[in-house]
Amino acid sequence: MDVAPDLLKGIQSVDDVRLAADAGLDGIVVSNHGGRQVDGAVASLDVLASLGDEVGDLTVLFDSGVRSGSDVFTALALGADAVILGRPYDYGLALAGAEGVQAVVEHTLAELDLTMALTGHASVAEIHRGALAR
C-alpha cells in the first residue's frame, strides 16, 4: 500500500531545509502561509531563490502569492517542483463551488501554457533559472 509522503510546510530558511532533510522527510513546502501570520515576513519567493543545492533530493513545493501562470513559471524556474494555490482556490470555491475551483485551476494552467509558449519552453522540465532576469 502506498504511504502518503511526509512534507514539512512553512520553510523560511536553509536551516529549515536541513531540519527537514535530517528528519528524513520526503519534501518541503516553502511557504509563509500567505503572509497572514507575521506582518513583514520574508517573501517566500526570496526564500525559494536562496535554497540552491541545499534541497538535495527533497521534493519542493511552493506557495504564498501564486496568482497567475507567470507566477507558476517563476516558481518553477527558481526550483519548485510544483506550486500550491491557496486563496485563489478558496475564491473560486466561494464564487462557484467545484466549477469555480476548476476554472481557477484551468485558467492558471492556460496562463502557464501561454507563458511557456511565449518564452520558448516546450515542457516544464525545460524551465530553469536562466529563464529569469533580475
* Active centre residues (catalytic): 33
Residue 100 binds to ligand FMN (criterion: CB under 6 A):
no
DSSP H/E element including 27: strand 27-30
Write down the least CB distance from residue 20 to ligand FMN, Å: 15
Taking CB atoms, the residue at the shortest distance from ligand FMN is 86
Residue of 61, 63, 73, 108 that binds ligand FMN (CB under 6 A)? 63
DSSP letters along 77-102, please?
HTT-SEE---HHHHHHHHHHHHHHHH
Candidates 16-24, 45-53, 79-87, 116-124: pick the segment binding ligand FMN (CB under 6 A).
79-87
Measured CA to CA, the distance from residue 10 to residue 58 in angstroms comes to: 14
